[in-house]
């Protein structure tokens, strides 16, 4: 035990020696996270020559710090101006943006940052302790189990559209149809591409994301003078008290932070799952088991805590399959794998014994980054929230320009700019006619993933549909899915009986 503690403190000391890497990478990560369309993955790719020139330890710490801080930074535009710049922040605006519209942008940012830091720090510590056991999760979750997990996320369509179920289902089905555009995964036959080669590899996610949320919202806010509701515009007070209120609100709900971040950690361990699934599933489960589900979507703190703590819980989870079995858990982890392979690093369980700095070091660096973020980002909440006071005649064009640039960056296709504009028009029409753009987005993101796992399961079973119920773990997840879907109705029934 004493030997383990010595190794742990030695890792902390060695990691702190790279402060000259962690601090600039953390600041850079916040900036790129706050710019819609930019992400840790494409930022690391741009800086790949710099990363490769560093040693493997310094390079890994640099990438981890950018990855961690960009995940937190993505919540800034999602909360303030309804722009989830990454798929992992797609559920954040559901309750974060309504708070900003009420003039509580500073408090909303404080809740977002606090839940992100606490969730990320907690799961990083758990990952360090439970690496031998968490590394086994990927072996037990196969195609069948992943199908059920996807359905957990897609069931959020029904959850967020409880006020008008028909419109919610129509919007979700429309999103699923868009998600299936592109070459099919079995025979590579193009579907719904209209002859555009750029659509063969599915509808690009970032342009669809910023179009549905950002550009459509920019069109809507043009009708108002301010992002905030007019009647409360004069009541907005930026003070340290608002920041402390947000921290207090989050700390009171510490149990909520814990279980949603652990959910994110478990989903993060599964290769290919990612922050989008974690945030959607956490939000859906949070609402289903809440005592006040009717408050979700109106600016409810728990509706903001759930996606932010879970998508930051994913960050440590994605590194586990990379280091244990050499399988990256996401796009950023895949780039990390390329850098480490360039330096001749061999993945596998032995890495934790032969090179503890590369095995445990990334998690220690992630924990230190979250601590730095806690002290660095909190004082900035009052300044970030001033964005809400900029007249929309200035902010709306800026939103459109930045998001169009962001939609161009991932693939560098001008075609993607047109895709963002088309989705912006679709989102604007959906908002004006009462359809929920989040339901459309869920279909676009999760639909293709569900298809891939479904077809993979059928190919393995040679077309036998009963394979969906052939796994004991899968059957347990099916039962949990059914229970979670019926919980809201049962709660309403029993409340009426009382």
d(CA 346, CA 179): 37
∠ at Cα 165 (160, 169), nearest 5°? 85
Which among 232, 282, 231 has a CA at the least distance from the CA of 256? 282
**Contact status, residue 423 vs residue 208, Cβ threshold 8 Å:** yes
Indicate left, alpha or beta for 390 from its phi (over 0: left) and psi (-120 to 50: alpha). beta
Residue 340 pLDDT > 60: yes
For 424-434, write each residue's pLDDT tens digit. 999 999 988 88
- Residue 404's domain comprises 2-497
Q: What are the tens digits of pLDDT across the range 108-155?
A: 999 999 999 999 999 999 988 888 776 666 667 778 888 888 787 777
What residues form DSSP beta bridges with 26?
none
Q: Which of 47, 402, 339 is nearest to 206 (CA)?
A: 402
Q: Residue 18 is encoded by which pair of tokens? A: 């790279």
What percent of the chain stands above pLDDT 90?
20
* Token duo for residue 256: 């909520």
**What integer pLDDT is reported at residue 258 of this predicted model?**
95
Cβ–Cβ contacts within 10 Å for residue 339, how many?
Answer: 19
Token pair belonging to 231:
């009647």
The total number of structural domains that make up the chain? 1
**Res 300 pLDDT > 90:** yes
Calculate mean pLDDT across residues 435-458. 83
Tell me the average pLDDT across 15-42.
84
Note the pLDDT of residue 95: 92
Highest mean pLDDT among 182-186, 286-290, 324-328, 489-493: 286-290
Say whether pLDDT at 233 is over 70: no
How many CB atoms sit inside 10 A of residue 266's CB? 19
Q: Where are the alpha helices (DSSP H) in 239-386?
A: 240-252, 254-269, 274-288, 301-325, 331-342, 351-354, 356-359, 361-377, 381-384
Structure tokens that stand for 169 in this block: 């289902």
Residue 479 has pLDDT above 50, yes or no: yes
Rounded to the nearest 5°, which phi and psi values hold at 355? Answer: -145, 75
Who wins on pLDDT, 159 or 365?
365
Contacts of 437 (CB under 8 A, 6+ apart): 171, 212, 213, 216, 427, 430, 431
Q: Are the C-beta atoms of 400 and 350 separated by less than 8 Å? A: no
Contact 95, 304 (CB under 8 A): yes
Which of 62-71, 160-169, 414-423, 460-469 has the least mean pLDDT? 160-169
End-to-end CA distance of the chain: 54
């Amino acid at each position: 035990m004493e030997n383990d503690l010595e190794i742990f403190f030695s890792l902390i000391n060695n990691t702190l020696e790279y402060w000259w890497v962690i601090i600039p990478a953390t600041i850079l990560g916040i900036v790129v996270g706050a710019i819609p369309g930019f992400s840790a993955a494409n930022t690391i790719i741009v800086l790949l020559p710099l990363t490769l020139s560093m040693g493997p330890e310094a390079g890994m710490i640099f990438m981890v710090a950018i990855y961690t801080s960009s995940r937190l930074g993505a919540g800034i535009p999602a909360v303030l101006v309804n722009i989830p710049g990454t798929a992992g922040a797609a559920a954040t605006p559901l309750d974060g943006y309504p708070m900003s519209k009420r003039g509580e942008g500073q408090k909303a940012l404080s809740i977002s940052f606090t839940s992100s830091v606490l969730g990320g720090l907690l799961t990083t510590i758990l990952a360090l302790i439970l690496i031998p056991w968490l590394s086994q999760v990927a072996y037990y979750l196969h195609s069948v189990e992943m199908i059920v997990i996807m359905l957990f996320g897609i069931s959020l369509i029904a959850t967020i559209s409880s006020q008008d179920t028909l419109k919610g289902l129509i919007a979700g089905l429309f999103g699923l149809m868009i998600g299936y555009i592109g070459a099919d995964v079995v025979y590579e036959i193009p579907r719904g591409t209209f002859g555009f080669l750029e659509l063969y590899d599915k509808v690009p996610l970032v342009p669809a994301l910023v179009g549905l949320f950002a550009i459509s919202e920019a069109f809507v806010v043009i009708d108002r003078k301010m992002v905030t509701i007019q009647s409360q515009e004069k009541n907005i007070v930026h003070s340290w008290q608002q920041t402390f209120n947000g921290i207090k609100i989050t700390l009171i709900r510490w149990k909520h932070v814990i279980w949603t971040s652990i959910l994110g950690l478990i989903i993060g361990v599964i290769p290919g799952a990612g922050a989008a699934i974690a945030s959607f599933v956490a939000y859906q489960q949070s609402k289903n088991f809440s005592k006040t589900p009717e408050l979700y979507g109106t600016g409810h703190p728990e509706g903001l805590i759930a996606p932010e703590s879970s998508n930051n819980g994913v960050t440590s989870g994605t590194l586990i399959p990379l280091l244990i079995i050499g399988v990256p858990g996401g796009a950023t982890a895949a780039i990390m794998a390329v850098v480490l392979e360039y330096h001749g690093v061999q993945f596998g369980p032995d890495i934790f014994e032969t090179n503890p700095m590369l095995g445990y070091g990334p998690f220690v660096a992630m924990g230190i980054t979250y601590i730095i973020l806690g002290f660095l980002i909190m004082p900035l909440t009052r300044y970030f929230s001033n964005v809400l006071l900029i007249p929309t005649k200035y902010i709306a064009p800026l939103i459109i320009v930045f998001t169009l640039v962001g939609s161009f960056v991932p693939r560098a296709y001008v075609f993607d700019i047109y895709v963002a504009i088309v989705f912006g028009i679709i989102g604007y029409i959906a908002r004006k006619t009462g359809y929920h753009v989040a339901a459309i987005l869920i279909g676009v993101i999760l639909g293709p993933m569900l298809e891939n796992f479904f077809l993979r399961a059928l190919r393995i079973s040679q077309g036998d549909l009963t394979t969906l119920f052939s796994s004991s773990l899968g059957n347990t997840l099916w039962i949990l899915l059914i229970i979670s879907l019926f919980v809201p109705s049962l709660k309403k029934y029993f409340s009426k009986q009382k």
